[in-house]
Chain A
Amino acid sequence: MIRYILQRLAGMIVVMFLVVTIVFVIVRVTPGDPAAVMLGPDATPQDVADLRTKLGLDQPILLQYVFYFGQLLRGDLGQSIFLNMSVGSALLERAEPTFFLTLFSLAIASVIALPVGIYAAYRRGSFVDQAATTIAMLAASIPSFWLGLILMQFFAVRFNLFPVSGYGGPGSTLLDRLYHLALPAIALGLVSSALIMRFTRASMLDVLGDDYVRTARAKGLTERHVVLRHALKNALIPILTVLGLTAAVLISGAVVTETVFGLPGVGNLVVSAVLRRDYPVIQGALLVIAGIYVLINFAIDMLYLLVDPRVRY
């Protein structure tokens, strides 16, 4: 078991090393001088030269890479060009709405998808199963930002049930903030519920035909007990994986949805950073989000240890 954990840990470190390298390379593939691109056409040559020195762009590329790595190891993601603060602080300041939006959306998606997926598998071929599968396919085809706009138009503008945009005032309560997140979370949750539902259904179908489920039924256990205790427990691994992957997809979806609803989250920060060519912020956000994804995957691998005894041996 320790060997398995160490193997996964080593894999994670290698992937993170490559992630850092990719993020470093992305800015260096910018055509022309990144400093000149960041400052725009009105910048003086002196301004460009100063920024080049500040970002270390006047150093040889290998040295820049080593410097960047060292800086990251010290926990320093660099300085934003336009926000007058460190990238780490900017990301932390904007992390809350994105975190809650992702969590809220994942909760909505799971609440819809898990029971529907389990029931669709249990009643395979029934009307409910067919309807659920069709709706899931349709949901996966809807751009979340478009659904967000439509929900906003109906439930916020027309019926005035939810706030149109924003994240509540400075002194707002947690409940008020969650209320502001409801529409974007529903938009994201509905779209991502499709994938979770399909995986839950497939995973349940895989186990429902197994011998131990037949044995459980032969023992006279109730159907509820058979499905929820015996089958679901064994179908959990693929479901856990897809939940983890969905969390990463949701962070990605949040980038666009936050812009629709004017939420002051990481997505909005990235979009404005791109428009202002604030590369350190883009790099920092990419690194942190990719890091979270890698960590989620590692956590899922570790959860396998708990859920599936076969992995332990």
Chain B
Amino acid sequence: MTDDTASLLPQRHRLKFVGQLFRRRTVAVGVLVLAVFLVIAVLAPWLTPYSPSKLSIVNRLKPPGATFWFGTDEFGRDVFSRTIYAGRLSLLVGFAVVALSSVIGITLGLLAGFFRRLDTPIARLIDAMMAFPDILLAIALVAALGPSLMTVIVALAIVYAPRLARTVRASTLVIRELPYVEAAQALGISTFHIMTRHVLRNLVSPILVQGTFLFSSAMLAEAGLSFLGLGVSPEIPTWGTMIASGRQYIGQADWMTYFPGFAIILAVLSLQMVGDGLRDMLDPRLQRNL
């Protein structure tokens, strides 16, 4: 085998994997919905008929119709425009939480799995962190750090990092014992290089699956925190703050509650569909059962 064909092989494998992944209907639909959400979030200023913060007292609590597709809220703001802008923020929070918790979780998991001395203290720390219900720990952290968009992201990242760390640790413990890691050690390759190039590369699948589920959990948790008034400022449209303000008018203007709720469900559902498909593809044992 020439060097050229050898370098082409992984790419061909990758393309084959992506092809197989998209042949699953749930994954294809999930990715499509997520892509639509992403495009809408990016193009929000051009897609929304009104500014999300434009007040219009004469148009307050108008039901959905031709002028206001999703109706208006108590200040006459367009619910459709606000739902789209809220999606921007919710996706941003989800992505930021996954990114930050991945950095923390992967580092902790790799260290625990690779260095026996660090394993017990880190594993115990993970157990202790996971003893707290996620939203409750996030509430306590937000209470301590003060409510803001950044604190919500940091708090949720701290809450979800142990889940990722546990997955990475478990996989690292297995990979560490494989002959190619032993061979790399025998060749005198540095530990850092082995951890990042040989171990981490083989952890991409479980991290990807866990990351997708964390994304959806983070979106739900952010909505919960904002709903309680403990997340971002109520003036900033997120799906959670929109439901919180809709709650007070649910008797007269239930659309204020319905539409942001549908948006959360659709976004979380599509993430779960993608996550499920990925997990089934990457773990044939689970494919049999779940």
Give A contacts to B, CB under 8 Å: 11, 14-16, 18-19, 21-23, 26-27, 29-31, 137-138, 140-143, 145-146, 149-150, 152-153, 157, 198, 201-202, 205-206, 248-249, 251-253, 255-256, 259-260, 270-271, 273-275, 277, 279, 282-283, 285-286, 289-291, 293-294, 297
Cβ proximity bits B254-290 to A, threshold 8 Å, 1 near / 0 not: 1001100100110011001100100000000010111
Known A15-B128, A146-B243, A252-B134: A26·B144 in contact at CB below 8 Å: yes
Kindly specify which of B48-56, B76-84, B224-232 makes contact with the partner chain. Answer: B224-232
- The complex places the Cα of A270 from the Cα of B132 at a distance, in Å, of 14
B residues 128-153 touching A (CB-CB < 8 Å) = 128-129, 131-137, 139-146
Do A137 and B272 contact each other (CB < 8 Å), given the known contacts A157-B251, A282-B143?
Answer: yes
Cβ–Cβ < 8 Å partners of A277 in chain B: 143
Most buried by B among A16, A256, A273, A286: A256
Report the Cα distance A27→B135, complex, angstroms: 17
B interface, size bucket? 35 or more
Shortest Cβ distance from B245 into chain A, in angstroms? 12
B264 to A143, Cβ gap below 8 A? yes
Contact A31 B136 (CB under 8 A): no
Q: How far in angstroms is the closest Cβ of chain B from A117?
A: 11
Q: Are A27 and B144 in contact, CB atoms less than 8 angstroms apart?
A: yes
| CB-CB under 8 A for A256 and B272, given A138-B265, A271-B230 | no
Q: Is B220 part of the binding interface, using a Cβ–Cβ cutoff of 8 Å?
A: yes
* B290 lies within 8 A of A252 (CB): no
Closest to B251 in A: A157
Instruction: Using A145-B227, A201-B289 as known contacts, say yes or no to A26 and B140 having CB atoms under 8 A apart.
Output: yes
Q: Considering the chains assembled together, what is the distance between the CA atoms of A11 and B123 in angstroms? A: 11
Most buried by A among B133, B142, B224, B288: B133
Given contacts A141-B272, A146-B223, A153-B250, 12 further A-B contacts (CB under 8 A): A18-B127, A19-B128, A19-B131, A30-B145, A138-B265, A143-B223, A143-B224, A143-B264, A146-B243, A146-B261, A146-B264, A291-B131
Q: How far is the CA of A118 from the CA of B258 in the complex (A)?
A: 33
Known: A150-B257, A255-B136, A256-B224. A274 touches B230 (CB 8 A): yes
Chain B's closest residue to A14 (CB) is B124
Q: Are B228 and A259 in contact (CB under 8 A)?
A: yes
Contact A15-B124, Cβ < 8 Å, known A138-B269, A146-B243, A271-B139: yes
Contact A149 B247 (CB under 8 A): yes
Contact B142–A29 (Cβ < 8 Å): no
Residues of A within 8 A of B261 (CB): 142-143, 146, 149-150
Number of A-B pairs, beta carbon distance below 8 Å: 146
**Nearest neighbor of A296 in chain B, beta-carbon distance:** B131
Q: Find chain A residues with CB under 8 A from B269 CB.
A: 137-138, 141
Measured CB to CB, the residues of B under 8 A from A are: 124-125, 127-129, 131-137, 139-146, 216, 220, 223-224, 227-230, 243, 246-247, 250-251, 254, 257-258, 261, 264-265, 268-269, 272-273, 276, 286, 288-290
Residues of A within 8 A of B227 (CB): 143, 145, 256, 259
A137 to B272, CA, bound (A): 7
Find the A residue at minimum CB distance from B271: A141
**CB atoms of A260 and B131 under 8 A apart:** no
Indicate if the CB atoms of B257 and A282 lie closer than 8 Å.
no
Would A255 and B139 count as touching, CB distance under 8 A? yes
B143 touches A274 (CB 8 A): yes
By the criterion CB–CB under 8 Å, are A282 and B247 in contact? Answer: no
List, in ascending order, chain B residues with CB within 8 A of A201's CB: 289-290
Q: Chain B's nearest CB lies how many Å from the CB of A238?
A: 10
A31 to B289: give the CA distance in the assembly, Å: 48
Q: How far is the CA of A290 from the CA of B134 in the complex (A)?
A: 11
* Shortest CB distance A269–B (Å): 12
List A contacts of B216 (CB < 8 A). 141
Chain A contacts of B288 at CB under 8 A? 205
Cα distance, A6 to B127, chains bound together (Å): 18
Chain A residue, CB-CB nearest to B254: A153
Which among B145, B220, B229 has the highest number of chain A CB atoms within 10 Å? B220
Q: List 12 A-B contacts (CB under 8 A).
A: A143-B261, A143-B264, A152-B250, A249-B133, A251-B136, A252-B133, A252-B136, A255-B228, A256-B228, A270-B136, A273-B143, A279-B144
